[in-house]
Every structure is written in structure tokens, then in C-alpha cells.
Chains A and B, each alone.
Chain A
Amino acid sequence: MPAITHEQAEALIQEVLEVYPDNAKKERAKHLAVNDPGISSAKKCITSNRKSLPGVMTIRGCAYAGSKGVVWGPVKDMVHVSHGPVGCGQYSRAGRRNYYTGMTGVNTFGTINFTSDFQERDIVFGGDKKLTKIIDEIEMLFPLSKGITLQSECPIGLIGDDIEAVSRKKTKETGKPVVPVRCEGFRGVSQSLGHHIANDSIRDWVLDRRDGDQRFQGTPYDVAIIGDYNIGGDAWSSRILLEEMGLRVVAQWSGDGSLSEMELTPKVKLNLIHCYRSMNYISRHMEEKYGIPWFEYNFFGPSKIAESLRAIAAHFDDKIKEGAEQVIAKYQSLADAVVTKYRPRLEGKRVMLFVGGLRPRHTIGAYEDLGMEVIGAGYEFAHNDDYDRTLKEMGEATLLFDDVTAYEFEEFSKRLRPDLIGSGIKEKYIFQKMGIPFRQMHSWDYSGPYHGYDGFAIFARDMDMTLNNPCWGKLEAPWKNAAGASATA
């Protein structure tokens, strides 16, 4: 039984839209919908990937965030220069929890903020000279870096610096790739275009670097993990499952990934793609150029993991298929124990999710394994093809909200009173103050990993810890709450 009916959900949307002026109302109405799993194409019910309205509080980021923060940032042995003023890089430094192994500052550089720190002078006279100098300094101070990417911030595009020319010159001089990324924040409507631009720059500047080089010893079981950013160790808990079933993981894109892993990816047999939104572009390119098929998998929750492992194995021979069954059998008892322990504590709880471009539809299986129900879901920057994939995962009368505004999100939660909300840090404290348990679903709330069987155990524990925390019963002052007062007396 859905918590509310289709009609009630429609009425709720209408009511929330009431406060907007006419134009805004018309525009926002297209982004809010009630799910009907029968519809095959999302285009008919929801509009996405449009510019946010001026005046509303959106939760989106910028293209620079999509490239520097998401796609390129986790590549650990390259130096990523935030090219432009200091703030964009400094305020986002090390915020993403994409774990990596290595010695920071020696052979890995993930949590360091490199910036060209633009001043007025650089804006007026151009920053290419400074950039050249910075690259020389990086070469001198960090000789073990494998390459450099130049992540453009807004001013670079505005003043028209020719970072491509600098890159070509320096690539030749140093013999290491220097990759210009034109991901100025003002491009596109959200971080999503930044993902695309970053993918394109990988395609143009990195992917073909070892095309003629046959020294890499391939096996028929080579795969690459694409679109796993190793948040809290996600890629690691995924990788062990693939390796246990007999596959060889050649590359991790890009969590705990390295430049040479990226260069070797064109030699794998299958690309396994977790985050479709941020890396489908490069997978499609590799399919066309190198004939590598790609497959979307989902490692959240035991049901989806087993389903994905079997589907991945279906691309290979019987040895791998058998390996997959063995892995599933091996971890089943662990998964069952987690479900037995937590399901009774979480059964029937209702969840609302608002995350980037993938997780609402991917985590739903994990919630369902715990007996929980997703009653509302939305994406910051998903596109139409993401909603196509979402509709069939979500239940009847699930509320869908694209690029939700702060106001709408608050109103929906007030009315539906979900038992748990999963979204980002900006939303967290508002909802906690409203008395609704909240988990950050970008950074896993400083926990994780959540992928894989090991991750599921942590996921279940975290949801229980948040939802059944005794603090939620203590939000009201004891003297206002007669029952509470007498209970403590």
C-alpha cells in the first residue's frame, strides 16, 4: 500500500506550487511528477536538465564542480590545478571523501589544493604566463606527479586565456600529459555538463596515449570499474567482489584511480559502469572506438548485488559464472544476518531521497532489502535518460522532483513526514531541526563504504543508528511535553 494515493500526491504538488508567481509555477510544474511505473518514457511526465529559476534556492553545483570535484579530482597521481581565483578550489578542498592509497604530496595529490590564485593583474593581463610558471613549479616540487589537469574556473573563459596552447607546449616539454579542461562554472545548467566536458577531455588528451603500445599483457577477464568514486572506500568493496569471481580489475575510474589505469582502459574487455550519469559519455566513446561493451551495474543491497554479479558474469564464460555464484553464496549468510538484525527495526519506514544523478534509483534496492519504502525521490542534475531508468524502479505514487527548490523540499517533507531523508550537507540541518532523521547520501555522512556486501552491513547499521536514535524523542522541551516529563520524573 502506498502511503498516499496518486491523486493525493498530485494534489500535494498543486498545493506546493500555489505560492509561485504564474511563470515560475508553470516552469516548476514540469519538474514535479507522481510516478507511474507503467510509463516507459520519462519525457511524458517530467522535464529535467533545465536551467534553475532565478530566485529559487537550488541545490545544484557548477561545471567546475562536476569536472574538478567529481570526475578528475579523484585521479590521484595527477595534479589538478584549480585555475582561477583561490576560492573555488579552497572551499571544496578534500570535501568529497574519495579515498586513495599513496603518500599525499609525494606520489599522490588528492587532498591538496593547487590553485593559480588569480589576482586583478592576471584578469587584466591574462594568466597564461603565470600558468606556465605554475606548471614548472609543480614539475620541480612534485616530480613524481604523472600529469597535470587545468580545471578552469569562471574567469578563464571570460578573459579568453588560451590554456590549450600552454598545455600543448608543456606536454611536449615535460613528456607528461597536461590536460586543459574547459569546465568554467558558468557553462551548462549544473555540474552535469562538467562531467561531460571532463569525459571529453579524457577522450581527447588521455585515452589514446597507449594506442600503439602492445606491451600490456591482457587477459580475457579484464574489466574496468567506471564511475565509482570510492566514497568512503566504495570502489574497494566493489572491487573485491569482482576479483573474487575471477575478473581482473584493470582500472578504477576515478576513485583511487591513476593516470596509467585510465590509459590502459581501452585494452579491457568490458566496462562496468556504476555512475551512468557522470561517465556514460566515455563508455559510449570506448564502445564506438575500441569496441568495448559497457554494462550498468548496481552494488547497493544484496538483491541488486546478486542480480548485477550474475548479469556481469553473463558476459563471460562458465568459470566466471560459477565464480559469481560462489561469491553470492559466500556472502549470502552475511547479508542475511544484516537483514535479520536490522529489518525488524527499519521495516515499513518511509524514505525521501534527493541526490545527484544516480543514487536515488540505485539505493532503492538496498532500502527495500531492509523493508523500507522510498516515497519521494529526485535528482539534482539527472537527464531524461536517468528518469527513464528511474520510473521502473520506483513504486506507484512516488513523488518525483527534479532540481527541487529548498522551499518545495521542505513543504513536501512537512506534508509527507518521511521517517528518513537522504540528501546533502546543505539540507541536513534544516531537516534535523524539523525533527526528521537525516543521512547525507553524497558523502555517506562520513561513514561508508556502502557498495558491496560489506558496504550493505554498514549502510544498514547507519540507517538504524540515525532513524532509531533516541534524540528524536527529545526534541521538545520536557516541560512542554507532559508525558516526557512524567516519564523522566
Chain B
Amino acid sequence: MANVMIRKDPNGKLVFYLAKKDLEAHILAIEHDDAEGFGGELTLDDGSRYYVDPLTPPPKLPITVRARRL
């Protein structure tokens, strides 16, 4: 488990930032991202996958959440 910050870049794409590893990567796929909730399984552009607990209602970005590596 590690703290990650999820934000939107100027083009509106989701960016995943894991400070401990200096990992800054775009999120290619996210399980839930709609009016219902936000989170679940994430796939990053370097191929790694993480899990964050889904948040309802969807939060205001950026947000710091706990993520688990899959």
C-alpha cells in the first residue's frame, strides 16, 4: 500500500503519481470512472496495475489515495 496522487493533466487525461517511486504515469484504463464512483483497478502506461478502493460519489481531483500493486 502506498499513497498515490491522482490528477488530471491539461489534456484531461488521468495521471498517477507515486511519490515514493517517482513514478508519474498516465492511467490507460480505470475500472470505475463515472457518476457512480471512481477507482478500482488501474492500468498504467508502463503496463503496471494498481488497485484503489472505489470512492462514491466520485471525488474532486486531484486526490491522494492508498493504492495496492496488483
Contacts and interface: CB of A to CB of B under 8 A. Distances in A.
Contacts of A210: none
Contact of A288 (B22, B23, B45, B64): B64
Interface string A41-57: 10100001100000000
A41 B46 CA distance: 8
A49 B22 contact: yes
A347 interface: no
Interface string B10-40: 1000000101011111000000000000000
A284 B64 CA distance: 10
Contact of B22 (A284, A291, A295, A383): A383
B10 to A, nearest CB: 8
B17 A388 contact: no
A43 B62 contact: no
Interface residues of A, number: 15
A244 interface: no
A49 B19 CA distance: 12
A413 interface: no
B46 A385 contact: no
Given A49-B22, A384-B21, A384-B22, A284 B46 contact: no
B7 A384 contact: no
Contacts of B62: 284, 287-288
B5 interface: yes
Contact of B7 (A41, A287, A383): A287
Contacts of A48: 22
Nearest to A287: B62
Nearest to A387: B22
By CB atoms of chain B within 10 A, which of A40, A287, A288 has the most? A288
A43 B10 CA distance: 23
B65 to A, nearest CB: 11
B17 A284 contact: yes
Contacts of A384: 21-24
A174 B61 CA distance: 38
Contacts of A43: 23, 46
Contacts, number: 31
Nearest to A49: B22
A49 B20 CA distance: 11
A40 B28 CA distance: 15
Nearest to A386: B22
A245 B31 CA distance: 43
A404 B46 CA distance: 27
Interface string B50-69: 00000000001011100000
A383 B5 CA distance: 17
A399 B58 CA distance: 45
B16 to A, nearest CB: 12
A430 to B, nearest CB: 31
A335 to B, nearest CB: 26
A288 B5 contact: yes
Nearest to B47: A41
A385 B23 CA distance: 6
A214 B53 CA distance: 36
Interface string A262-293: 00000000000000000001001001100100
Contact of B25 (A41, A49, A281, A284): A41
Nearest to B5: A284
Given A43-B46, A49-B22, A384-B23, A288 B63 contact: yes
Interface in A359-390: 383-385, 388
A40 B24 CA distance: 11
Contacts of A49: 22
A49 B22 CA distance: 9
A349 B24 CA distance: 34
Contacts of A281: 19
B5 to A, nearest CB: 6
Interface string A374-415: 000000000111001000000000000000000000000000
8 contacts: A48-B22, A284-B5, A288-B7, A291-B60, A295-B10, A384-B21, A385-B22, A385-B23
